Copies of this chain bind each other. A is one copy, B any other.
Amino acid sequence: MKQPITYELLHICKQTGARRGIIHTPHGDIQTPIFMPVGTQATVKSMTPEELKQEVKAQIILSNTYHLYLRPGHKLVEEAGGLHEFMRWDRPILTDCGGFQVFSLADLRTISEDGVEFKSHLDGSKHMFTPEKVMEIENSLGADIIMSFDECCPYPSTYEYTKDSMERTTRWAKRCIAAHKKQDKQGLFGIVQGGMYKDLREKSAKDLVALDFPGYAVGGLSVGEPKELMCEILEYTTQFLPGNKPRYLMGVGTPDYLLEAVIRGIDMCDCVLPTRIARNGTAMTWSGKVVVRNATYERDFGPLDPECDCYTCKNHTRAYIRHLVKANEILGIRLLSIHNLRFLTKLMERVREEIENDNLGTFIQEFYKRYGYTK
């Protein structure tokens, strides 16, 4: 059987070890490293698919199993012809497994070997996610890349708890492989867990690699731990992942985290950050964060980011965007979302170029001088 998801390594940056590659998927190729916009509820917040292509130049988007299962329901999406058809996005899609969401429900869920029982955040109704159920949902949604059901440990967690959880995640990964019904159409990724414990990360990675997934995610990072610790654990973990499969760091979206991930061998990242901060009136620019809501920008008739090529920056001023944000106008959110998403996809375009030129380390140092670097 032909694998639906394959990875082609093009080049390794001599300065940093970052990987330049291509992920081949049933809905087209993805140039990596890549930032993936998140469309939790079958829509990247405020954006049309057309804008995602033309303005943001997104190659792949994410959507969420937990949210779509609850609303509108995965069977409805399947009836619509799958998620691509339902939301009219004809490029690759990745669906999260819902693990992060159900574990975030805290008091509303109970974990057992079988799976997780939880109450819906929408109406309090009871539901059960097992590896088999999650595969059923992800098969119905029909994304190109689907994630196996995992537990994401909170930070901090004890060694004992993290070990049990990681081992269960591996057992669930096996059950996911067995339950996955569209192996020729959807590539199932394993998720490495193990918290902040190196030996657990090593064990998790090796056990999953033995299961021969077409790709691997590193989960359970960027969950509140110090940045240095994240970098250390990530760097330690990626060495155990095979070079001929894509690697995805889940839930990372600030420019500096993206860059730190890429130089540790990560190919894919996602985060809701760019659209979330847009809703608060904040922009990422090549000169750092701009809180356009602030009074400083009241009479600033220049673009959000003079170095950006997006619709927002080509057409509108900071003063106008600030007015829209202050007046709670949807267009303000839209203009900031377009810009922030484009900023990250453009950053990754640049990263790919710099990898090809073996110059990514130099680029990153210069980027931090202007953008800033958060501890």
Measured CB to CB, the residues of A under 8 A from B are 41-43, 45-50, 71-72, 76, 79-81, 86-88, 298-299, 301, 311, 315-317, 319-320, 322-324, 326-327, 329-331, 333-334
Cβ-defined contact, A320 with B46, below 8 A: no
In the complex, chain B residues whose CB is within 8 Å of the CB of A331: 43, 45-48
Partner of A80, one of B81, B319, B329, B330: B319
In the complex, chain B residues whose CB is within 8 Å of the CB of A319: 72, 76, 80, 86
Cβ-defined contact, A298 with B41, below 8 A: no
Known: A79-B301, A80-B319. 19 other contacts (CB 8 A): A41-B324, A42-B320, A42-B323, A43-B324, A45-B331, A48-B334, A49-B315, A50-B315, A71-B323, A71-B327, A72-B319, A72-B322, A72-B323, A76-B298, A76-B323, A79-B299, A81-B301, A88-B316, A330-B333
In the complex, chain B residues whose CB is within 8 Å of the CB of A334: 46, 48, 330, 334
- Cα of A47 to Cα of B46 in the assembled complex, Å: 11
Cβ-defined contact, A80 with B41, below 8 A: no
In the complex, chain B residues whose CB is within 8 Å of the CB of A299: 76, 79
- Cα of A80 to Cα of B47 in the assembled complex, Å: 27
- Cα of A24 to Cα of B167 in the assembled complex, Å: 75
Q: In the complex, what's the smallest C-beta–C-beta distance from A171 to chain B, in angstroms?
A: 34
Cβ-defined contact, B329 with A41, below 8 A: yes
- Cα of A322 to Cα of B45 in the assembled complex, Å: 15
Residue among A45, A323, A334 having the largest count of chain B Cβ atoms under 10 Å: A323
- Cα of A216 to Cα of B26 in the assembled complex, Å: 61
Partner of A315, one of B88, B316, B317, B330: B88
- Cα of A331 to Cα of B88 in the assembled complex, Å: 13
In the complex, chain B residues whose CB is within 8 Å of the CB of A88: 315-316, 320
- Cα of A50 to Cα of B55 in the assembled complex, Å: 13
Name A322's closest neighbour in chain B (CB-CB). Answer: B72
In the complex, chain B residues whose CB is within 8 Å of the CB of A79: 299, 301
